Amino acid sequence: MDQYISIIARELAKRLNKVINLPFLSEEEEELFFRLVVTKVLEIIFGQIYDLFNKDTAQ
């Protein structure tokens, strides 16, 4: 699942980087920043979905 999160995060970070400009960072730093943020958000979301799915199947 981590590889899928990484792929999605990379693509979303590129799109965010085009829309949002952080003037105090270089383009490379901006993309890394957005990739980190998106990766963490996706990990939380997919972790919650996984927990809900496991809870439902355990019953």
Tell me the pLDDT band of 1, cut-offs 50, 70 and 90: low
pLDDT, tens digit, for every residue of 8-59? 888 888 888 888 888 877 888 888 888 999 999 999 998 888 888 888 777 6
Q: What pLDDT is attached to residue 40?
A: 92
- The domain segmentation of the chain, as residue ranges, is 2-58
Q: What pLDDT is attached to residue 38?
A: 92
Residue 21 burial (C-beta neighbours within 10 Å; 0-12, 13-18, 19+): exposed
Query: What span, in angstroms and rounded, lies between the C-alpha atoms of 27 and 8?
Result: 19
